[in-house]
């Protein structure tokens, strides 16, 4: 992800091709960076206590609610 910040000409399509992912998945993964740290900590604590997996759909919902900086 740091590579994207360091090279503004690097496109998500380039990352997807290089990593063998779809452009949509790269977009989803980059969106996860918007989840606030306190929300991530709550997710970690909850999943450790309940022994339940976390879905990417739930994480993306949190990312969509996060303020854009």
Give the integer Cα–Cα distance in Å for 42 and 16.
Answer: 30
- For residue 68, name the pLDDT band (cuts at 50, 70, 90): low
pLDDT digits (tens, 9 = 90+) for 36-64: 898 889 888 888 888 778 888 888 888 88
Give the integer Cα–Cα distance in Å for 28 and 52.
Answer: 21
- For residue 4, name the pLDDT band (cuts at 50, 70, 90): low
- Residue 26 buriedness (CB in 10 A; 0-12 / 13-18 / 19+): buried
The predicted model scores a pTM of: 0.67
Rounded percentage of the chain residues whose pLDDT exceeds 70: 86
């Amino acid at each position: 992800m740091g590579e994207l910040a360091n090279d503004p000409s690097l496109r998500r399509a380039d990352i997807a091709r290089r990593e063998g992912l779809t452009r949509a998945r790269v977009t989803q993964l980059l969106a996860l960076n918007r989840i606030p740290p306190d929300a991530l900590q709550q997710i970690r604590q909850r999943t450790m206590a309940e022994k339940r997996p976390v879905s990417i759909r739930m994480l993306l919902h949190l990312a969509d609610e996060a303020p854009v900086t």
